[in-house]
Amino acid sequence: MSRGRVETRLIPQNHGPSSVADATLRLRWSAPVTAMRGLPPMCVRADTQTVLCRTGALPADGRGRRIRVSARLAGAPSEVTVRIDTMWSGGSADHNPQNNTHKVLALDTGDVYYF
């Protein structure tokens, strides 16, 4: 994050035991988003802080396509939390629902965070 601009990149992953035809992820920032730059076609803005993205098919024990969302936050906060949740997975059995939510605190340092 730098001066209120934040870029979130992720690669959805399915740990199995079976493939998932499609899933929906929710990206939610702790600060309101004032602008989105080049929102991917598989994503839609849900409200002032939230974007929903389709993953497409996820093979068992495999990865999906990279998703990249660039946003400008209101007021250029010194920190922001982004939460990424699996909202829907087509009714697939999930043996580890604890890995469906990730939360990262990003500070306005210009640094890149990996998790």
Residue 35 CA to residue 99 CA, distance in Å, equals: 29
Q: Where are the beta strands (DSSP E) in the chain?
A: 5-10, 13-14, 24-29, 33-37, 43-47, 50-54, 62-63, 67-73, 79-88, 101-107
pLDDT at 30: 98
Task: Give residue-wise pLDDT tens across range 90-109.
Answer: 777 677 778 889 999 999 99
- Tell me the whole-structure pTM to 2 decimals: 0.90
Ordered by start, the domain boundaries in the chain are 5-107
Task: Give residue-wise pLDDT tens across range 35-55.
Answer: 988 899 999 999 999 999 999
pLDDT at 102: 93
Q: Which CATH superfamily is domain 5-107 in?
A: ntegrin, alpha v. Chain A, domain 3 (2.60.40.1510)
Structure tokens at 44: 């839609």
Contact 100, 23 (CB under 8 A): no
